[in-house]
């Protein structure tokens, strides 16, 4: 599998247009949409485990009762009486705190169900494959470009990539000027080359204080 | 590109979350609002009373226990089995074969190409690259169609679009070898390994 073999079909594909494969094929588009969102598998696992623990306990007590043995922790009748009497028999602080914890767990699951769960990823246009890139990879590539444009070291550049915005923070070396336009143009050019979907905006922040001896 | 049932996940999470939230809010209200407590006494006592009445009426002949307990136990077992089934659906969809079908040639028979062919070829092609900290390839079945998921972890500062183009060339070569265009998902990831190793300088 060398690259020489790939050159021939490559030309053919290029003639038919360089638009992203992902947008042509509905199945691939579906896969990409799934890749851009969280599957909620982790929350599903936690929820299933919680429900299973509760059910297992109820089953244990029911089984113990069915064969006429004494209850393990609490008898159903006693439990029901205690629950009916609820604000009594337990300190209100404990009850309130316990209720708050249970409500928080419920809110967590509800938010997991309702929020879009967008992942910090962008799509790239490509001839052959559907390409998904983590935003951190984009950030490190842009940081490299910004670093060479600003002529500073790695530690002086920090890039944050979000869905719609790229923020480039540069701390110039003390005594040498860094042109904001140069950095902006370089990062923009790199971003144009990558052409991620959705295309974010670029903002450059030059720190007012410089780094000494970098 | 696995077959995790996402809609089901969200629906079940919504139901479970709503139940937990309702119980939690009720407990907090019981602890803080006296009027809720008095309503709760009346309502829950009524519910428990009718449940006890039902248990009284459904006694097993000749025994103290009600057969409703058996029904309840069966329901609980059903819920546990459903939860296990739900969990087993997460991340399913690994496939074994990349191609499986009849050949058009003169000879009768089936042709199958294992997913390992593509996986090992791509892995070998990507293994020695200095700009990658890691690569993995897996075959998945999505909606009945086999596809490849390629995951590559570039070192810091590697331009992802150039990487994608080069992997695309590999994939096109693979298409020639296999004779069929398989859908490919290329995922360029960042990870701890990429972060803590040296940046790729020469490229």
- Secondary structure (DSSP) of A165-195: EEEEEE-PBTTS---HHHHHHHHHHHHHHH-
Asked whether the beta carbons of residue A86 and residue B184 sit closer than 8 angstroms, the reply is: no
Interface of A with B in 8-67 (CB under 8 A): 9-10, 13, 25, 27-28, 30-32, 34-35, 37, 39-41, 43-45, 47-48, 50-52, 55-56, 58-59, 62-63, 65-66
State pLDDT tens for residues B178-188.
888 888 889 99
Supply the pLDDT for residue B92: 81
Structure tokens at B167: 């992997």
3-state secondary structure of B60: coil
Alpha-carbon span A34 to A117, nearest angstrom: 11
- Preferred mutation among B88, B128, B183 to probe A, highest tally of A CBs within 10 A: B183
Mean pLDDT of B92-102: 81
Q: Which helix (H) or strand (E) holds B54?
A: helix B34-57
Task: Determine which of A57-61, B58-62, B121-125 has the lowest per-residue pLDDT on average.
Answer: B58-62
Supply the pLDDT for residue A2: 39
B92 contacts on A by Cβ (under 8 Å): none
Compute the nearest-CA separation of B37 from chain A (Å): 7
- Decide the pairing of beta strands A157-161 and B145-154: unpaired
A28 contacts on B by Cβ (under 8 Å): 183, 185
Compute the nearest-CA separation of A44 from chain B (Å): 6
Residue of B nearest to A49 (CA): B83
Output the CA torsion A191→A197→A198→A202 (10° steps): -10
Pair A107, B28: CB distance under 8 Å: no
Give the single-character DSSP code of A132: E
Of B142, B137, B144, whose CA–CA distance to B174 is shortest? Answer: B137
Supply the pLDDT for residue A202: 92
Of A36, A202, A21, A27, whose CA–CA distance to A122 is shortest? Answer: A36
Angle of helix A41-66 versus helix B68-88 axis, rounded to 10: 160
CA distances to A142, B159, B199, B200 from B203, in Å: 15, 10, 11, 7
> Residue B94: is its pLDDT beyond 60?
yes
ipTM greater than 0.90, yes or no?
no
A194 contacts on B by Cβ (under 8 Å): 159-161
pLDDT, greater one: B17 or A86: B17
Alpha-carbon span A10 to B173, nearest angstrom: 9
3-state secondary structure of B145: strand
> Residue B53: is its pLDDT beyond 60?
yes
User: Per-residue confidence of chain A (214 residues) as pLDDT tens digits?
Assistant: 333 433 333 333 333 334 454 556 777 778 888 888 888 888 999 999 999 999 999 888 877 877 777 878 787 778 888 888 777 778 888 888 999 999 999 999 999 999 888 888 888 888 888 899 988 889 989 998 998 988 888 888 889 998 889 999 998 888 888 888 999 999 999 999 888 888 899 999 988 888 887 6
Angle of helix A180-194 versus helix B160-178 axis, rounded to 10: 10
B125 contacts on A by Cβ (under 8 Å): 1
Residue length, chain A? 214
């Amino acid at each position: 599998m060398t690259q020489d073999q790939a050159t021939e079909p490559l030309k053919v594909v290029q003639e038919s247009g360089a638009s992203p494969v992902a947008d042509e094929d509905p199945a691939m588009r579906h896969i990409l949409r799934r890749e851009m969102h969280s599957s909620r598998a982790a929350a599903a696992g936690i929820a299933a485990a919680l429900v299973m623990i509760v059910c297992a306990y109820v089953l244990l007590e029911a089984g113990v009762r069915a064969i006429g043995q004494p209850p393990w922790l609490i008898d159903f009748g006693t439990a029901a009486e205690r629950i009916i009497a609820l604000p009594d028999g337990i300190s209100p602080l404990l009850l309130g705190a316990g209720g708050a914890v249970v409500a928080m767990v419920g809110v967590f699951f509800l938010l997991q169900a309702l929020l879009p769960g967008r992942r910090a990823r962008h799509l790239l246009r490509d001839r052959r494959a559907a390409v998904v890139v983590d935003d951190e990879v984009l950030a490190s590539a842009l940081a490299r470009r910004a670093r060479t444009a600003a002529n500073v070291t790695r530690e002086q550049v920090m890039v944050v990539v979000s869905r719609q915005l790229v923020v480039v923070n540069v701390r110039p070396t003390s005594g040498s000027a860094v042109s904001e336009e140069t950095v902006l143009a370089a990062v923009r050019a790199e971003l144009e080359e990558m052409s991620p979907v959705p295309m974010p905006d670029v903002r450059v922040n030059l720190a007012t204080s410089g780094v000494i001896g970098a | 590109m696995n077959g995790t049932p996402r809609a089901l996940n969200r629906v079940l999470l919504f139901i479970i979350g709503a139940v937990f939230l309702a119980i939690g809010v009720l407990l907090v209200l019981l602890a803080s609002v006296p009027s809720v407590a008095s309503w709760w006494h009346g309502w829950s006592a009524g519910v428990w009373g009718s449940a006890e009445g039902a248990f009284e009426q459904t006694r097993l002949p000749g025994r103290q226990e009600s057969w409703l307990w058996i029904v309840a136990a069966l329901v609980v077992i059903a819920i546990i089995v459903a939860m296990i089934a739900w969990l087993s659906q997460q991340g399913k969809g690994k496939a074994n074969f990349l191609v499986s079908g009849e050949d058009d040639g003169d000879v009768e028979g089936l042709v199958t190409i294992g997913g390992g062919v593509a996986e090992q070829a791509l892995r070998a092609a990507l293994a020695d690259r200095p700009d990658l900290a890691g690569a993995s390839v897996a075959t998945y079945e999505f909606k009945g169609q086999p596809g490849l998921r390629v995951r590559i972890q570039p070192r810091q500062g590697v331009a992802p679009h150039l990487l994608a183009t080069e992997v695309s060339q590999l994939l096109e070569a693979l298409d020639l070898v296999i004779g069929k265009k398989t859908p490919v998902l290329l995922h360029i990831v960042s990870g701890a390994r990429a972060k803590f190793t040296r940046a790729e300088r020469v490229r």
